[in-house]
Structure formats: structure tokens, C-alpha cells
Amino acid sequence: MAFQKISLKIPIQWKQVSSWNEAAKETSGTVYPIGFVFRAPKTGTLKSVGFQFTVITTAQDLHIQFRDASEVTGNPDDTVDAFRLIPSVDVVAGWYNTGILSDDGTDGGVKKSVTKGDLIAVCFTWPGTVGDIRVVQHQIYTWSASNQGQFPYGRQGVSGGSMTSAFQNGKLRMALEYDGGTFPSIPEMMPMEGLNSSSLALRVNGGAQNEAGMRFQVPFKCKVRGSVWSCSDNDSAIDVRMLKDDGSELMPSFSYAANFSDGGGFWRYFTFPTEVTLEANIWYRHVVRATTTGQDFNVLHIINLNKAAHMEAWGAPIKHEFIQRYQGGAWTEDDTKRAQGISLLISEIDDGT
């Protein structure tokens, strides 16, 4: 086997390309229906959609639908291929999983089949009385009038008309489920619960966790020379650690003094004292540990998922779950959470020869 030089960060550092100040698109008497247009991530049969309601001004029955979209105009078709009725009683703030979408709106109806690369849309319409609700989108920094054709994007109608008008962002926070229970990744539409990532302050005493990070696997043998962490601010010095799953160290832990942050919530690159070799499909732990008594290390931003299966929709080539522990005790692992701001710096990859 031979190692080849490479420069790669895994998993994807989502906060580099997106804001956690998500936009919310209104569905109301003057702006409806709404369609979120994207390329089918793989060939197969679509089953359901998960998404998040936020502000509910007037709850009414709501249709969520699968439609094709035109390769010429970019607009969702008027023909509904599959749908599900969401009764008004269920239109409440929070994450919502639709159940099966089909041609007749029942579990026994015909589901929509797609080929990878098909232009399709998830659409919201009112089957009866018009309500007023908002659903959560990811807000992308790079949007402008000149790049509305990039995927994914949004279209809307007025007073129930066809969806022909572009709207800013249009990147629904969504878990698209295929038959078989898979949730393939759609760039910029990855699912999470809550309007923002939650944060964790590590502390040596005071009842808080003092060590946290990610438990992970890589799909290939590789060498890692460092990592990147998102930072807000820190008063505590920290130890940076890379461990095997049994708790033994892959490298000597190394320390960073307090107050190395810019104070503005930026990224910090840690260079390991020795390059670390990781085997494929083996669990490891990469964590930081606060070491100054009574002081916080505010670094960890945590993505909360509705279910562990939604981890697949994040698309990074890595198995990943959030871990933490208190004062050297037992690790707590949570496969419905992921550390939002940790990424490994891959320096070499095994080419298999």
C-alpha cells in the first residue's frame, strides 16, 4: 500500500459557506405556492420529506408535494406527482416528518420515481383556506440576483398562481427520504433542528462538561496532520487530543493557552505534534479538554438532528457523532448530534496499491 499526498478537510465545514441566521419564507395569502428546486441526488423512489416549521401565524391544512421542474424555465410544473396533506392541527413550530407522499396522498398510493440528476421540487400549497406559516431555510452568503440559477433555489407564485418568480435563498432545510430509509445528501439543504446550532461551554468545575468533540470513522486509510475547530472565545487553556476508541492516545496530547481566539467566532487550525495514521472504518475520538479551573472554553457548536438517520444527509465522507464527558468519567455519545465546527486535515491518503 502506498500513501499519496493530498490536502483535504473532512467533514465539510458548513459554517464556512452558510450562516446560521436562517431565512424563513412566508407562505401566505399573497405569496404562495412555494417550490424548492434541486437535482435528485440518486436514482430511486421518493418516500417522504422532513423539514421545520418556524413562525405559525395562521395554521391551515397544507399540502407538501413532489413535482418536476422545467429544464428550460427552472420553474416547478403545475402537475403534482405526489403529495401529503398536513392537517392544520399538525402545523406547529418544530420539525415535521411528512410520511409517505403518493399520487393519491395515502400510504398505498404510487410514489414518485426519479433518476439521478432530475430537476425536481418540493412544494407547499394550500388545498383550501389559505394560512400563514413560515418554513426554515439555510441562508447562503453568496446569493445574489446573478446566481439564482444555481442549485438549490426557490420559486414562488402569487395568489395561487404558477411558481414563476425567484426568491432569495430557496434552500429548504430538508431531509429527503427514499424508499429503504436512506437520506442522501443534497448540498446546502442538510437537515437540523432549531434555528441555530447550539453551543457548549467546557469547564473544569461547576458541573459542566470539560471534554467534548467527535467520535468518528474515515472510509479510507489516511494520515492526519491537524484539525480545525470553530472558536467563539475562551478563558480556559485546553488540551487537544486524538484517541482510539478504547481511550488510548494516538499521539501525545498538546496544549493551547487561553485567549487564543480572535473574539469574533472564527476558525482555529491545530497542527498535531506528530502526523497520525487512521485506519478505515475504525472508531476514533477527537476532543478538546478545558484545563483552567473555573474558566470556560466556548468552542463547540453542535448540530441537533431529528433522527440519527439524518446524519447521512450531511454528505461528508465520515461517520460522525458528538461525544462529551465530565472530569474523566464515562463518555456520553449521541448519534443525533454532530460537532458542527470540527474538521480533520488529511495530508495523505492510501491509494490501495
Q: What does each of the 353 residues of the chain score in pLDDT, given as a tens digit? A: 687 887 777 775 554 334 445 666 777 777 889 999 999 999 999 999 999 998 899 999 999 999 999 999 999 999 999 999 999 999 999 999 999 999 999 999 999 999 999 999 999 999 999 999 989 887 654 434 344 446 788 999 987 789 999 887 788 999 999 999 999 999 888 898 887 777 777 888 766 678 899 999 999 999 999 998 876 666 778 889 999 999 999 998 888 776 654 444 556 788 999 999 999 999 999 998 888 887 777 667 788 999 999 999 988 777 889 999 988 889 999 999 988 778 899 999 988 77
**Which of 187, 216, 234 finishes a domain?**
187
> Residue 181: which CATH number?
2.60.120
**Residue 169, pLDDT score:** 73
* Judgement on whether residues 42 and 113 belong to the same structural domain of the protein: yes
**Residue 232, pLDDT score:** 66
**Residue 319, pLDDT score:** 86
* Judgement on whether residues 322 and 207 belong to the same structural domain of the protein: yes
**Residue 19, pLDDT score:** 46
In the chain, how many H helices and how many E strands? 0, 28
* Judgement on whether residues 253 and 146 belong to the same structural domain of the protein: no
Range(s) of the domain holding residue 8: 3-15+197-350
Take residue 11 and report the three cell numbers written for it.
467533514
* Judgement on whether residues 159 and 223 belong to the same structural domain of the protein: no
Work out how many domains the chain is built from and give that number: 2
CA distance 224 to 268: 16
* Judgement on whether residues 238 and 137 belong to the same structural domain of the protein: no
* Judgement on whether residues 210 and 321 belong to the same structural domain of the protein: yes
The CA-atom distances, in angstroms, between 211 and each of 117, 236, 324, 352 are 42, 12, 6, 35
Take residue 55 and report the three cell numbers written for it.
413562525
**Which of 152, 169, 187 finishes a domain?**
187
* Judgement on whether residues 280 and 303 belong to the same structural domain of the protein: yes
